[in-house]
Structure 1
Amino acid sequence: MRRASPGSRHPFLPAWTVLVLGFLLALGPLAPPGHAADGGEGAGGGWTVRQPGKAHDGVSAVVRLDPADGTVTLAARRGATTVLEPAPVGLVTRTADLTSGLRLLSRGTRRVTEHYTMTTGKRLRRTVRATEARFSFTGAGGTRLDLLVRVSHDGVAHRYVLPARGEVTVVREASAFRPPAAARAWLSSYTPNYERTFAPADAANAPDGSYAYPALFRVGGTYALLTESDVDGRYDGSHLVHRQGTAEYTVALADASVTSTGPLATPWRTAVIGDLATVTESTLVDDLAPPSRVADTSWIRPGKVAWSWLAGFGAAQRSLATQERFVDYSAAHGWPYTLVDDGWKTTDWMPRLIDYARARGVGVLLWVHYTDLDTAAERAELLPRVKKWGAAGLKIDFMDSDSQERFAWYDDILRDTAREELLVNFHGATLPKGIQRTWPQVMTMEAVYGAEQGNVPAADLATLPYTRNAVGSMDYTPMGFQFGTRTVSDAAELALSVVYESGFQNFAGSVAAYRDRPELERFLEQVPTVWDASRLLSGEPGQEATFARRRDGRWFLGSVGAGPAGQRRVPLSFLGGGKWLLEVVRDGDDGLVRERHVLTRHDTLRVPVHEHGGFAALVCRAAPGRDTCDRPVSRLPLTTLTVSPGRADVDAGASIGVDARFAVEDAGPAQDVTVTLRTPDGWSVAGDPARADRVGTGGELAGHWTVRVPPDAAEGGRDLVVTTKYRAGAQVLTVERTVRAYVSPPGVDHVGDLPFVSESNGWGPVERDMSNGETAAGDGGPLTLRGTVHDKGLGVHAESEVVVDLDGAYRRFTAAVGVDDEVAGKGSVVFEVLGDGRTLATTPVLTSADAARALDVDVSGVRRLTLRVTDGGDGVDSDHADWGDARLLS
């Protein structure tokens, strides 16, 4: 971990410094009373604030003070079009109602010009030019309220400043947005994790309810995207509340009240305004946010991520071999990261995986639950620990709140992850509100009805570029071809790697799904995750979105649509002069195909698309002899090492045959290859290591050994370790796989080795010698009770029942029972043992906090044994119960 040397700039600025600077910037230089707000007096005693350099045809805001009741309204225009009609501003504190009875003290303007650089986003280098007006009012009891209004070419924003020092409690804002009643709207019902689809409506006729940011409205050819910016622990998040029949959308705070120490500047109530290109290319939300608090960003590296959750769920996260497979895939295709999701914390191999990935140039990202980090003590323990392991960053999940308390936690976790130089992906999170400018280690945020839902409508996919993704990086997790109900074509799915902006692109496919689509693999090797420029080329919300994004001299095109098959026509006027090579990946009759065109900026690209289809394209300067825009990618061989059997039950004195197969699937060759077997002390091996000077792509090297177990071997599990060592270029790499051998003593039979008369299980099949699986197909992890792993036993999910015939052949049944560690903090169960229908033993309710309970039951004469698990009654559907080391003694 890098630290600032003595006398160097500290890696991030103190919170009080940023707050003070932000407040002073918000106030700006005061103009004397009577100074026009960059436009002068308007009709009815109003003041117009205009974007810089535009007299009448640009974006403007109109502030009006009603002299009769002292209320203030704000409206927004684009040229002659009223985009937002006059709507109330003001707020109510615990001591003063500042929504009426206001009197103007002074007003003034300043020009805002800023230049800053992002680590993520639709454009890395940003320039801000805006006009900011400050209106100072006095209200009840002489309380002062300042209204700041900022106008730029891409929108209007306003916030309140309460200049007085001391504690202040805000109980309500009068803030509202009022589009014209007939405006078309695209709205998403509000939930604190923002995981709802968008639906079209009319502004006035939308149903009663709460709606999330961002909310999109169309007035003629002009759009307004409503959201907020610069929210932190000084305040809370908000959403919109609408009553059907009116066009007013009122700002509602997440909390009943918000308490801070003044002077207090509230979040910016923000409207991105313009045509669709302006909305999708706008950086207004980031422009309004405080500057970066991380001085040295050299450690921050966005990139593509192999994410295995939709290719195996929790079982895949608990499997070292599976996670190594995804690391290998990343290394073979130049992806810089892999993400291990929920489940890894029940294992002990994470440092090994990180070392394995580091040797291959791949960073490992780790999923954690919000509650793992919600206290200072937890952060002080976990963050340095995962950093010491070498983790590149964290995916933090399940915040599920817009409260002030949660935003204060965001302040803490962002400060602490910056100190530890850990990248961050927030899931179950709030919407981006400028956070990626202030804390540039935030690579992406979920806040979307994403691919993990398994059934995202094509119309929603074509709405998100104009709504959710327009305000910040969006972790949609595309490419999950093996999961859910597909709603768009393969080419349209590939296009999402361009259409959707995200500093981390967590690609959700299985390795098999990628390998079945070689043109997709090739395109994903080339596509970046950050951009120098972004252009909307064509589209309409809910119908189609076609984008061009540039990085390092190449353009990437992506197009996704919802509708019938046809031809998509794309103007190329965004290109410079001369000839350009376009490599288009589209849907063919038998999969994805790549087509090459040489065109100019005066041409129109025409691409046939399937129903709910699209395309992706890579564009570079045409040159004699150039037939591709691809650039070299750092690749290591994609290899597999398989061993058989994966586990074996063996008697002392017996033998086990072990087979191993090392194969190179892609990006070969592997050189100087050896495959060896290591056994426990005292176990003998017949067979030699396998060796090859070279194993090319499509080739393999096999080994076979016979392992003899000592006659006096003690009962229990042992590891037989197969190791492959090979060279790839200058790197020497190692892969290991394990055969788990379990030595059984005489006179003992394990229930998991016997045939079942019948079985039932609450989710998936009953698992033999592993925990309950995460899918209907099973595939659980090790049977683990309070840190102790049991080689043998049954993994079930309540309600469950297993029946076996004993025919009176056994004396005792023993087991260690409890809730499996994989559902730590959840689940409650009761275990019952029945013999011939008669209850022989039962446990009290056991939870994941309880130690394993030992059972020792007399089954003498029992002909049919029933092992039953019932729910403990807590209503939590996470009852993964283990019959650890369930055995019968004769």
Structure 2
Amino acid sequence: MRKHLCISLRLAAVLAASGVVDASRAEGPDLAGPAFETLTTAGPGPSGRITLLAVDRIEISPAESPPRAFATTELVHLSREAATSTGEGAYVVLPEGDRVVRALVGSATDAKVEVQALALGKASMPLDAVLGLVLNPPSDPDAFDLLVRRLRTEARTSEVVWLANGDRVAGSFLGMDDRVVRLQVQGAARELARDGVTAVGFDPALVSYPKPAGPYLEIGMLDGSRLGLVEVKLERGRVSGATRFGVRIDVPLADVVRVAPRTPTVAYLSELPVEAKSYVPYFDLVRPFQADASVEDRPLLLNGKTYDRGIGTSSRTLLAFKIQPGDLRFQATVGVDERAGALGSVVFRVLTDGKVRYASPSLTYRDAPVAVDVDLEGVKHLILATEFGERGDVRDLADWVEARIIRRP
């Protein structure tokens, strides 16, 4: 308990310094703002300051040219290079890749949980929007990644509590305070010491995280948080909006590192059904493809940068997708995951209706990621092929980062 209290006090000091608990952060905003790089549906766009931000329109002001406005249907994302880290604190796992990190998680009932973080300030979050809470994150990065992925993808029919000693307890979540987590287990109430609880996973069948009816913006933060926002506006260097779970936020633009419009013109393959798949391993080990993760179920990692979206495969894998009327282009960034090490070697191929439209050389993790852009007009089927490189399929961790279809507005 003393260790937990010390961590909480240190984190509170960090949050205060970041402006979460100190309203003085709102005074004297940096009107110049950081510069963002723009990726449009047609390719790289201008770099500059964001001077207008809304769910349907974004304006960029380059340093030496007039401002340029884009409809969000023209954009894939805006981003800037900045070091992000989860750091100390709890981790709130939300559906579809959203999350709140470096958080102070307070008390909870079976309906809501109190959270304080850079991305939210102080907020009461509806519990039915939450997939999981990592209350005491593992210090080992591999163990942490595995735990978060499990909270996101594991099929659970009840709440599950992961304990620090490796045990799991299944039951119905009743609530928690700063001392205990309360569950109903086989009809009896049970209290678990909170400082011995690593994480709580909630029943996915009870989670409600509806998509907004119209376009919205995914906002990535310096601390690693990501939230989908509607009713977005930019005023005096601050971004405000309403989250998908109904809590309003107000943060400095200087704390934003990525803006990804979610409109009908950009469809990520990791969110679309796979019409057919085929695995032909070099030996006997079949490694199924993973959505929004590497084939080893870790975050996608190319050239030192992690990505939220994409498809992880291994040689030899074929994935077929049905193309719809109005689908214009297939785009992705491909490369060998950095965790593959020196042995991984992969060839990426893109086929449309049986014809090869793109083929990479044999790539390793040392090679720079490659941008792929293939015309889909008149096409019925798209096939992504991960082929053997120079050394069989040893450590062939192939990442199709941000694999997407560009559709007609």
The reply to whether TM is greater than 0.5 is no
The structure that is strand-richer by fraction is: 2
Bigger-Rg structure (1/2) = 1
Higher relative contact order (Cα pairs below 8 Å, separated by 6+ residues):
2
With the length of structure 2 as denominator, give the TM-score of the two structures.
0.43
